[in-house]
């Protein structure tokens, strides 16, 4: 097997997670580190020994992200159209691991697009994202409670961020931040929907 563990600087797929993936897919011939160049990204492309089928194994950085991503793939992604998003094959809560199918295509940033074509791609992406967001009827009572908690967290977190800023901003800017944070408490309920959280071109 070609293994990413032999490549300098690559992240190794934990043996236990590889064993789990092979218990579902069968023997793998290639394990390639496909993580993004940022801390906490742990993704591997794996290739099936029998038919060369490609899948991805992803380890979520926290239980919260694992739960959110699992739910998105199970409940939201299927409504976005076959072949437009990866399909969730299986999850492993013990390792916070997800096993996903591969989707054909290339990252937008790797394509030599004209400005007009790039704008068209962004319009297409925006239309896809609007379907992903859904609407209030797509959300459960727990979702609405979590959304309200996020607003409250933003209000109370403003002062904490001001403390972290120390002398980087002046008193006038501080009062502006406090004023806008206070206005959040006086708003009517905001429109709510799913949030993608990482919607950007990939390399």
Same domain, 14 and 95: yes
The answer to the question of residue 192 being in a domain is no
51 and 28 housed in the same domain: yes
Is 190 domain-assigned?
no
22 shares its domain with 50: yes
Q: Cβ(56)–Cβ(134) under 8 Å?
A: no
Look at residue 66 and tell me if it is in a domain.
yes
Given 101, 134, 169, which residue is the final one in a domain? Answer: 101
Dihedral angle, C-alpha 120, 102, 139, 186, nearest 10 °: -50
pLDDT for 46 beyond 90: yes
Task: Name the domain count of the chain.
Answer: 2
Mean pLDDT of the region 105-130: 85
Contact at 8 Å (CB) between 194 and 138? yes
177 shares a domain with 141: yes
Question: What pLDDT is recorded for position 176?
Answer: 94
Q: Any idea what the Cα angle at residue 25 is, between residues 22 and 29, rounded to 5°?
A: 65
Range of the domain at 146: 112-184
CB 11 within 8 A of CB 21: no
From 101, 130, 162, give the residue that closes a domain: 101
19: confidence class by pLDDT, cuts 50, 70, 90 = very high
> What percent of the chain lies above the pLDDT cut of 70?
90
Over 70: is that where the pLDDT of 95 sits? yes
Last residue of a domain, one of 101, 128, 157: 101
Q: How far apart are CA 123 and CA 96, in angstroms?
A: 33
Same-domain check for residues 176 and 148: yes
Average pLDDT over residues 84-106: 91
| Closest C-alpha to 44, from 63, 62, 31, 54 | 31
- Decide if 76 is inside a domain: yes
Instruction: Determine contact, residues 29/49, Cβ cutoff 8 Å.
Output: yes
Distance, CA of 5 to chain centre? 25
180: in domain: yes
Pair 96, 175 in one domain = no
SS3 40: coil
Tell me: do 81 and 118 sit in the same domain: no
Q: How confident is the model at residue 3 (pLDDT cuts 50, 70, 90)?
A: low
Report the pLDDT value the prediction gives residue 90, as an integer from 0 to 100: 96
**Residues 123 and 178 placed together within one structural domain of the fold:** yes
Residues 13 and 95 placed together within one structural domain of the fold: yes
Same domain, 87 and 116: no
For the whole model, what pTM was predicted?
A: 0.68
Q: Is the pLDDT of residue 57 over 60?
A: yes
* Residues 123 and 50 reside in one and the same domain: no
97 and 116 part of one domain: no
Parallel, antiparallel, or unpaired for β 28-33 and 2-3? parallel
Query: Looking at residue 70, which CATH number applies to its domain?
Result: 3.30.200.20
């Amino acid at each position: 097997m070609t293994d990413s563990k032999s490549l300098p600087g690559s992240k190794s797929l934990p043996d236990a997670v590889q064993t789990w993936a092979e218990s579902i897919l069968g023997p793998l011939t290639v394990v390639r580190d496909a993580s993004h160049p940022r801390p906490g990204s742990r993704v591997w492309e794996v290739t099936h020994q029998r038919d060369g089928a490609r899948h991805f194994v992803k380890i979520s950085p926290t239980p919260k992200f694992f739960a959110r991503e699992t739910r998105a793939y199970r409940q939201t992604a299927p409504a976005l159209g076959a072949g437009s998003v990866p399909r969730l094959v299986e999850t492993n809560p013990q390792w916070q691991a997800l096993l996903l199918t591969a989707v054909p295509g290339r990252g937008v940033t790797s394509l030599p697009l004209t400005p007009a074509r790039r704008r068209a791609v962004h319009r297409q992406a925006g239309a896809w994202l609007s379907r992903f967001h859904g609407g209030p009827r797509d959300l459960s009572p727990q979702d609405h409670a979590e959304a309200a908690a996020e607003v409250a967290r933003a209000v109370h977190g403003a002062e904490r961020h001001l403390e972290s800023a120390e002398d980087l901003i002046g008193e006038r800017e501080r009062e502006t931040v406090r004023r806008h944070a206070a206005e959040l408490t006086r708003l009517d309920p905001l429109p709510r929907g799913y949030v993608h959280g990482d919607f950007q071109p990939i390399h």
